[in-house]
Amino acid sequence: MTDWNKITAELDGLEIVTDASQVAKLSLDYYHFSPVLQAQLADKRADLVVRAANEEDVLKVARVCVKNQIPLTVRGAGTGNYGQCIPLEGGIVLDLTPMNKIHRIEPSLASVEPGVKLAAFDKKAREIGWELRMYPSTYRTATIGGFIGGGSVGAGSINYGQLRDRGNLHAVHIVTMEDKPRVLELRGDEVQQVNHAYGTNGIITLLEIPLAPAYPWAELIVTFADFLEAAKFGQAIADADGLVKKWVSIFAAPIPTYFTALKDYISPEESSAFLMVAESSLEPFYDLVKEWGGKITYKKTAKEAQKGISLVEFGWNHTTLLARSIDPNLTYLQTFYWDLERVEQMYRYFGDEVMIHLEFIRVGGMAIPAGLQLLRYSTEERLNEIIKYHEENGAGIANPHTYILEDGGRKTIDLVQLAFKERVDPYGLLNPGKMRGWLEREQ
Ligand SMILES: Cc1cc2nc3c(=O)[nH]c(=O)nc-3n(C[C@H](O)[C@H](O)[C@H](O)COP(=O)(O)OP(=O)(O)OC[C@H]3O[C@@H](n4cnc5c(N)ncnc54)[C@H](O)[C@@H]3O)c2cc1C
């Protein structure tokens, strides 16, 4: 039985949250997008939340947790979708949002603490003409550490691929959970040991990230009478190498009806493309729209776009958020369709049960349609049938209805990440229950 008064005394000097409603809030994330995870995770709670303001604080918490064999789950802004930062076995949730110093921004490279918010960082970097290579639609609240720990893609992925691609993360510092916790620096390929590992094998305390040249990005909506034409237009702009863009998203009707703030720009029966295009590329962009018979119904210059809500906050998983706020029975899937033939096949096969939302991203040098489809949920059995049909027909599903690291994405145990966990977290205290490789090793 853990003596929490003793633990609190050992953590003296650190900010500790014990208020039950605050602890509840800081124990959860956006797991509720999944009806399957809702049932599994709703009642999970930390015993304490501790806030760390610097690396010394993190080391202190790590020491106390190792000494007392307490589970430790790291948390950024808690916007993850699969219960990634939900403590399955209680213990301490370590909130790193106070660690928000930008140490260095220089042309093409930056060094930051994990709690830095993506939007705040981007604003600073743009002052010297650079920006994040990619960001999720939660960029206003999400942290850089959380994006690396649990995210994968975002606006910019049409140019730079996925976070896990070599070159998108240069170096990290991590705090270990060994008998004597220490700070390790990982550089180059070594970062893959902790990249997208849900904080199961190291607490990231510093990140060195590469940047992209910043452009003034215009934001546009183009509508089409037919979804498949919209999808083909999406592929065409994604493939147009001379056209500088940051984001290409396609919504099948009736998805945009969930975007009530945009109802003046898209009618319920229209499908649409949402885009960020460099202002200097707008002229060739208009020619492309003309070629595909699209209609531009919304256009903001980069300056205008900075004032209100960015269109990006209708894309990625914000689409799911907005749709669920109107119909909570909706959930979603994450799919690598690989090509438009498969998109068409799924569109015709599932009809209105699976409404297609595409995000074009770069994978292995090619622009491909990925999906964040909205799904009308009936039962878990039906959900699994839909996943199975996709997989049997060559579409890859990154399952958002599991909190297990390996089951969500690559479906195989990452031996490099597992070996690193054995080394730096020998007692399995970090975010326990999330890494299948570790769970199976323990049996
Ligand atoms: C509406 C909505 C839209 C979204 N859109 C996108 C999207 O476009 N692209 C995308 O990739 N994701 C998206 N997400 C998921 C999520 O918002 C992002 O991945 C985000 O970057 C996570 O950051 P966070 O600070 O909230 O991390 P958290 O949720 O706090 O943490 C995520 C994971 O990283 C671990 N972690 C956090 N900090 C550290 C650290 N310092 N060291 C080690 N591990 C750590 C946590 O333990 C957890 O496992 C979306 C989520 C929602 C709710």
Query: What confidence tens digit (pLDDT) does each residue in 83-121 have?
Result: 999 999 999 999 999 999 999 999 999 999 999 999 999
Half-sphere exposure of 223 (CA within 13 A, CB side): 17
Asked if residues 277 and 243 have their Cβ atoms less than 8 Å apart, the reply is: yes
Instruction: Among 131-140, 228-237, 402-411, 419-428, name the one with the lowest average pLDDT.
Output: 402-411
- pLDDT given at position 52: 98
Output the residue whose Cα is nearest ligand 1's atom 24.
146
**Whether the bond into 254 is cis, omega within 30 of 0:** yes
DSSP state of 117: B
For domain 217-397, give the fold.
Answer: Vanillyl-alcohol Oxidase; Chain A, domain 3 (3.40.462)
Ligand 1 binding pocket mutation candidate from 85, 117, 320 (most atoms within 8 A of CB): 85
Domain boundaries, the chain: 4-95, 102-213+415-442, 217-397
Say yes or no: domain 4-95 is CATH 1.10.287.110: no
Q: Please name which of 49, 143, 163 lies closest in space to residue 100, comparing C-alpha atoms.
A: 143
Q: Could you tell me the pLDDT band of residue 442, with boundaries at 50, 70 and 90?
A: low
Distance of CA 34 to the CA centre of its chain: 15
Give the residue-averaged pLDDT of 43-62. Answer: 98
> Token digits for 181?
């916790």
Q: What pLDDT does residue 408 have?
A: 87
Spacing, Cα 426 to ligand 1 middle (Å): 25
CA of 155 to the centre of ligand 1 (A): 15
At the top level of CATH, the class of 102-213+415-442 is alpha beta
pLDDT above 70 for 124 = yes
The long-range contacts involving 345-354, CB below 8 angstroms and separated by at least 24 positions, are: 345/393, 346/371, 346/373, 346/390, 346/393, 346/395, 347/227, 347/228, 347/252, 349/389, 350/386, 352/376, 353/386, 354/386
pLDDT band at 414 (very low <50, low <70, confident <90, very high): confident
* 11 CA distance to ligand 1 middle (Å): 26
Mean pLDDT of 376-401: 97
What does pLDDT average to over the chain?
A: 97
| Two tokens, residue 15 | 């900010």
Predicted confidence (pLDDT) at residue 443 exceeds the cutoff of 60: no
- Burial environment of residue 53 by CB neighbours within 10 A (0 to 12, 13 to 18, 19 or more): middle
Instruction: Please report which confidence band the pLDDT of residue 441 belongs to, taking 50, 70 and 90 as the band edges.
Output: confident
Beta bridge partners of 207: 112, 172
The two domains 102-213+415-442 and 217-397 share their CATH topology (first three levels equal): no
With residue 211 as reference, give the H or E element that holds it.
strand 203-213
The fraction of the chain above a pLDDT of 90, given in percent, is 96
How far is ligand 1, taken at its centre, from the CA of residue 95, in Å?
13
Rounded Cα gap, residues 329 and 374, in angstroms? 10
51, 61, 79, 372, best to mutate for ligand 1 pocket (most atoms within 8 Å of CB): 79
In terms of Cβ atoms closer than 10 Å to its own Cβ (0-12, 13-18, 19+), residue 242 is exposed
**Token pair of 97 as six digits:** 């949002």
If pLDDT is split at 50, 70 and 90, which confidence band does 413 have?
Answer: confident
Nearest atom, ligand 1, residue 152 CA: 11
Phi and psi, residue 401, nearest 5°: -110, 25
Residue 314 corresponds to which tokens in the numbers above?
């209708």
| Residues with C-beta less than 6 Å from any ligand 1 atom | 29-30, 73-81, 84-85, 96, 114, 136-138, 142-143, 145-147, 149-154, 198-199, 203-204, 316-318, 321, 431
The pLDDT score that the predictor gives to residue 409 is 78
pLDDT of residue 337: 98
pLDDT at 197 over 70: yes
Predicted confidence (pLDDT) per residue in 273-323, tens digit: 999 999 999 999 999 999 999 999 999 999 999 998 999 999 999 999 999
Specify the pLDDT at position 29.
Answer: 98
The Cα 317–Cα 357 span in angstroms is 10
Distance CA 71, CA 92 (A): 6
- What is the mean predicted confidence (pLDDT) over 113-131? 98
